[in-house]
Amino acid sequence: MHPSPKALTQTSKFLSLVLRHKPEEIGLVLDDAGWASTNELIDACNRHGPRLDLPTLQLLVSTNEKKRFEFNADGSRIRASQGHSVEVDLGYTPQVPPAVLYHGTVDAFLDSIQTQGLLKGERHHVHLSADSSIARIVGTRRGKPIILTIKASAMHAAGHTFYLSTNGVWLADSVPPNFIEFPQ
């Protein structure tokens, strides 16, 4: 019997916490690239978090809309695709971005963004989307969304590096304000 959608959501949030931010909370160790042993993750979750088995973990990875997690080729290791606050090197190679990318935010952050641009804060990168509707969903998590258009081609031409995560999120170290189009 499969877990309920609510249980899967709770487990996904817990996995995001331990695979992106606090692996030590369950005694898990990530390697330099953010990978953890699949079996060790399951055992640690069963000791310290939500009950988990391999079929549930496989279901969670394969059905997660944002593709937050990935297995290695043989399924023996798992990691978060991006969004880490712990030090990892995901091994992504620089990519040429599309002409524009998008970032969803809310009004409360606009003054800071207009002054400082988009900063990665506690994370490794600023997260950007090639699709404005995805940026709108991201912005909605904190209130009424405001969609910023990022002049990615111009930014890239000026020497900024972009990466594309395995789940389709574009990553940059920061986005200076002069490369951001703010809504009027």
Q: How far is CA 147 from the centre of its chain?
A: 18
Task: List, in order of start, the domains of the chain with CATH numbers.
Answer: 5-80 (1.10.10.970), 94-181 (3.20.170.30)
* Confidence grade of residue 3 (pLDDT, cut at 50, 70, 90): confident
Token pair of 180 as six digits: 């951001």
* Confidence grade of residue 165 (pLDDT, cut at 50, 70, 90): confident
Sheet containing strand 145-150, strands side by side: 101-106, 145-150, 180-181
Q: What is the pLDDT of residues 23-46, one digit of tens each?
A: 999 999 999 999 999 999 999 999
Q: What is the pLDDT of residues 7-28, one digit of tens each?
A: 888 999 999 999 999 999 999 9
Q: Helix, strand or coil for residue 170?
A: strand
Q: What is the pLDDT of residues 59-104, one digit of tens each?
A: 999 987 778 899 999 999 999 988 888 888 878 899 999 999 999 9
* Confidence grade of residue 1 (pLDDT, cut at 50, 70, 90): low
